Amino acid sequence: MTPGIKPLVAGNWKMNGLNSAMDELEVMRDQFKPGLSAKIDMLICLPFTMLAKAGELTSRSAVKIGAQNCHKEIKGAHTGDISIEMIADCGAEAVIVGHSERRTDHGESNAQICEKAQSVLHWGHMAVICIGESDEQRKQGATLDVLKKQMTESVPGSADNGEIVIAYEPIWAIGTGLTPTVSDVEEAHQFMRSYLIERFGEAGNAIRLLYGGSVKPSNAAELMGINNVDGALIGGASLKADDFLGICATYQ
Ligand code: PGA
């Protein structure tokens, strides 16, 4: 928690989900009651193919939806790509950029991630920028150096019209059931906060810092209670409404 910051609980469905099976999303929407939505923001980042329908399903609710990637340009000759304008057209308000799976599967660089984030922010939307060290880097004691380089190169110099959110996701904790110790998460988030204050001044205090990597209902309270952890980015446990809502309930 950071005093004065409304936490953000974000789901990342990755390459999962069909338009013919939207019931989990409907349960999340229906169970996200005003008592809880006053305390936290809820965001579900879906595959592109689900965005239009999800946009309709959540349009009159407090649930925000988002995408998991976008192109840096708004339109043009980029076969197979999707822009922030198209994402916004579906009613989505956020985009995850620089997830480690995109860095690995598609070789995305910090510079490319920065350009994508700039496009989202310029559109007035939320860019959830992911950073995090590999297992090897952690074992070498390089975690904070990795985070600094990733923030320096992939976080734009201005939030423009939008909102910058940073998700710390140790790669070795994603989908493995492993999580860092409380003191490791605290150290990383304190480091990120100090870096952001140094770079952005007082505005660095207001940037939401999420933790991601094997968050589930049973460990959420401990992880979400850490200083400078302003919410979570959740993969596997965001696919089931019960689990996702169980994590949100940590903030009741
Ligand atoms: P996980 O994924 O919760 O399944 O570990 C987190 C993420 O990749 O954002």
Model pTM?
0.98
Taking 90 as the threshold, does the pLDDT of residue 196 lie above it? yes
How much distance in Å is there from the Cα of 102 to the middle of ligand 1? 13
- Mean pLDDT, residues 200-214 taken together: 97
pLDDT tens, residue by residue, 62-71 = 999 999 999 9
Confidence band for 1, pLDDT divided at 50, 70 and 90: confident
Query: Which residues have C-beta within 8 Å of that of residue 36, sequence separation ≥ 6?
Result: 248, 249, 251, 252
Mean pLDDT on 205-224: 98
pLDDT at 47 > cutoff 90: yes
Residue 19 domain-assigned (yes or no): yes
Q: CB–CB of 53/26 below 8 Å?
A: no
Count: domains in the chain: 1
The per-residue pLDDT of the chain, averaged, comes to 98
Catalytic status, residue 136: no
Examine residue 56 and state whether it is found in any structural domain, yes or no: yes
**Percentage of the chain surpassing pLDDT 70?**
100
pLDDT in tens, 123-179: 999 999 999 999 999 999 999 999 999 999 999 999 999 999 999 999 999 999 999
- Domain presence at residue 1: no
The protein residue with its alpha carbon nearest to ligand 1, atom 7, reads 235
Q: What is the mean pLDDT of residues 46-51?
A: 98
Residue 170 belongs to some domain of the structure: yes
Q: How far is the CA of 174 from the centre of ligand 1 (A)?
A: 5
Q: Residue 182 Cα, ligand 1 centroid: separation in angstroms?
A: 17
Which domain does 173 fall in, by range? Answer: 8-251
Please check the confidence at residue 37 and state whether its pLDDT lies above 90.
yes
The verdict on residue 143 lying in a domain is: yes
Q: What is the CATH number of the domain that holds 175?
A: 3.20.20.70
Pocket (CB within 6 angstroms of ligand 1): 12, 169, 174-175, 212-215, 233-237
The best mutation among 234, 243, 247 to test binding of ligand 1, ranked by most ligand atoms within 8 Å of the C-beta, falls on 234
Residue 99 annotated in active site: yes
Dihedral (CA of 122, 84, 6, 151) sign: negative
pLDDT of residue 231: 98
How does 90-120 read in b/e, with b if 16+ C-beta sit within 10 Å?
bbbbbbbbbbbbbbeeeebebebbbbbbbbb
Asked if residue 2 belongs to a domain, the reply is no
Q: Which is the closest atom of ligand 1 to the Cα of 216?
A: 3
